[in-house]
C-alpha cells in the first residue's frame, strides 16, 4: 500500500462528511449529486493507495481510478446541467455520452495499447454524441462540439498517443463541468469561484498529465498533490455554496411573507418611504391601498385553515397580477394586504385602480377543487392630499377600509357570498 496518499484521502473524507452534515441541516436536491460525485473521487483516492511495487496488479487500481474519474465527472455534469430539460432527457443524454468513454477508460486501464481497439469506440462515440445533440438536446452547437472532441481523440489514437487521447477525454468532461457550474451557480458566490477554479485546474491536470509523465517524471509527485488540492477546493466550494444559499434564503424570509411570497411589513415600510421620496422629488401623487378579505374567519372556521391559506395565496396572486411593475403589494398579516402605487394622476385614477383590484379579487377561485367567490373591503389614502408621511397615510387608508367594511349592505352581501360558497363546498 502507498501510504503517502493517506493524508489526502483522510482530508477529502473529512470534507465530504462536513458537506453531508451541512446538507442534512439544509436539504438541497442538487447536493445529493455533489455528494455522489465526491464519493467517486474518494473511491479514486482510495484506489491510489493500492499503487505499490509489491501490491496487487497495477491494472486493477488503474481501471478503478480512471473509471471513477470519468463517472465522477459525469455526475458533476449532471448536477450542473440545464435544469430546464426533463430529468429523463438529461439522464439519457449524459448516459449515452458516458458509456463509450467508460469503455475507452476501462480498456486503457487494462493496459491495452493497440490503436485499432479504440477506433470503433471513437466512431461510435461520435455518432452517439451527434445524434444525442440533435435528437435529445436539439442543439447543433453540441453536435459540432462532439465532432471536434471525438476527431481530436481519433487523431491522437491514430498517431499512437493513446494516453493523451484518454486524458484529453477526461479533460473535456471536467472542463464542461467547470463551464456548467460557471453558468448555473450565482454570479457573486464565493463558492462558485472555488468550484469553477477547482474543475478548471482538474481539467488542466488531465491535459498536462501525459506530458509530465513522459518528459518530466521528476515532477509527478508534485502534480499528484496539485490534483488532491483541487479536490479539496471543490469540496470547500460546494460547502460555501450551500451556506451562501441558506443565508440568502434566511434574508429573503426576513423580508417576505412565507405563505404568499409577498413583501412583509418590514420591506413594505422601506419601499413606501422610498416611494414617498420619489413622489416628493417628482411632485406626483401616490396612493396607499389597504385590502382586507371579507369574512375570512368564516372561511377558516367552516372550510379549514388549509382552505384559508389557499384563499390568501389566490388573493395575493390576483393582486400581484393587477398592479404595475413599479407598484408594491405586501401582506401585513392575517387577511390584510397593502399596496403602494406611485405616479397616480388624481383621485379618479386611484378609484379606477381600486375597482380593478376588487374585480380581480372577486373572480371565482378554486378552493379544494371547487369554485368559490370572495371579496374584500378596500380603503385608500393619497399623498400628498391626505397625508405627507408614511404613518398617517397608513392610518387614513386603514380607517377608510374599516369604514367600508362596517357598511351594513356590503357586510350582508359578503356574508351571503361566503355562506353560499361554504354550502357549495359542503
The C-alpha cell at 341 is 402605487
Q: Do 157 and 165 touch, CB atoms closer than 8 A?
A: yes
pLDDT at 125: 93
In angstroms, the CA 152 to CA 380 distance is 70
Average pLDDT over residues 293-315: 86
Long-range contacts of 148-151 (CB under 8 A, 24+ apart): 150/122, 150/125, 150/126, 151/126
pLDDT at 367 over 60: yes
Put simply, whether the predicted model's pTM sits higher than 0.85 gets the answer no
CATH of domain 265-425: 3.30.70.270
The label of the residue with cell 443524454 reads: 93
Confidence of residue 188 (pLDDT cuts 50, 70, 90): confident
Q: Do 353 and 289 touch, CB atoms closer than 8 A?
A: yes
Average pLDDT over residues 172-177: 94
Average pLDDT over residues 321-341: 90
Confidence of residue 381 (pLDDT cuts 50, 70, 90): very high
Average pLDDT over residues 296-308: 84
Domain map of the chain by residue range?
3-255, 265-425
Q: Do 329 and 262 touch, CB atoms closer than 8 A?
A: yes
Amino acid at each position: 500500500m502507498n501510504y503517502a496518499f493517506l493524508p489526502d484521502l483522510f482530508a477529502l473524507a473529512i470534507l465530504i462528511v462536513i458537506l453531508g452534515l451541512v446538507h442534512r441541516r439544509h436539504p438541497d436536491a442538487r447536493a445529493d449529486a455533489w455528494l455522489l460525485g465526491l464519493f467517486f473521487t474518494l473511491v479514486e483516492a482510495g484506489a491510489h493507495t493500492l499503487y505499490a511495487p509489491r501490491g496487487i496488479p497495477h491494472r486493477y487500481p488503474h481501471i478503478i481510478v480512471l473509471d471513477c474519474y470519468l463517472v465522477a465527472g459525469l455526475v458533476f455534469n449532471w448536477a450542473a446541467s440545464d435544469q430546464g430539460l426533463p430529468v429523463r432527457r438529461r439522464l439519457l443524454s449524459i448516459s449515452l455520452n458516458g458509456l463509450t468513454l467508460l469503455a475507452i477508460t476501462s480498456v486503457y486501464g487494462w493496459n491495452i495499447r493497440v490503436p485499432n481497439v479504440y477506433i470503433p469506440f471513437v466512431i461510435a462515440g461520435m455518432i452517439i454524441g451527434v445524434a444525442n445533440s440533435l435528437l435529445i438536446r436539439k442543439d447543433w452547437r453540441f453536435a459540432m462540439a462532439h465532432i471536434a472532441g471525438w476527431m481530436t481523440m481519433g487523431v491522437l489514437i491514430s498517431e499512437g498517443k493513446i494516453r493523451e487521447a484518454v486524458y484529453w477525454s477526461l479533460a473535456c468532461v471536467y472542463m464542461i463541468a467547470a463551464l456548467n457550474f460557471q453558468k448555473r451557480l450565482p454570479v457573486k458566490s464565493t463558492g462558485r469561484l472555488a468550484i469553477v477554479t477547482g474543475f478548471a485546474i482538474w481539467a488542466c491536470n488531465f491535459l498536462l498529465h501525459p506530458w509530465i509523465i513522459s518528459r518530466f517524471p521528476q515532477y509527478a509527485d508534485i502534480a499528484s498533490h496539485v490534483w488532491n488540492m483541487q479536490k479539496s477546493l471543490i469540496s470547500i466550494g460546494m460547502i460555501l455554496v450551500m451556506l451562501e444559499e441558506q443565508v440568502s434564503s434566511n434574508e429573503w424570509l426576513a423580508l417576505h411573507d412565507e405563505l404568499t411570497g409577498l413583501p412583509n411589513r418590514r420591506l413594505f415600510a422601506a419601499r413606501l418611504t422610498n416611494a414617498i421620496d420619489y413622489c416628493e422629488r417628482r411632485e406626483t401623487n401616490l396612493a396607499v391601498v389597504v385590502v382586507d378579505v371579507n369574512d375570512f374567519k368564516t372561511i377558516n372556521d367552516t372550510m379549514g385553515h388549509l382552505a384559508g391559506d389557499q384563499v390568501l395565496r389566490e388573493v395575493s396572486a390576483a393582486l400581484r397580477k393587477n398592479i404595475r411593475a413599479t407598484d408594491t403589494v405586501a401582506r401585513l398579516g392575517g387577511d390584510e394586504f397593502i399596496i403602494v402605487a406611485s405616479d397616480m394622476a388624481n383621485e379618479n385614477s386611484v378609484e379606477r385602480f381600486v375597482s380593478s383590484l376588487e374585480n380581480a379579487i372577486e373572480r371565482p377561485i378554486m378552493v379544494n377543487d371547487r369554485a368559490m367567490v370572495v371579496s374584500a373591503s378596500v380603503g385608500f389614502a393619497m399623498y400628498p392630499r391626505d397625508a405627507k408621511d408614511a404613518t398617517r397615510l397608513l392610518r387614513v387608508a386603514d380607517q377608510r377600509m374599516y369604514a367600508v367594511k362596517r357598511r351594513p349592505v356590503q357586510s350582508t352581501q359578503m356574508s351571503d357570498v361566503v355562506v353560499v360558497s361554504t354550502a357549495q363546498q359542503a
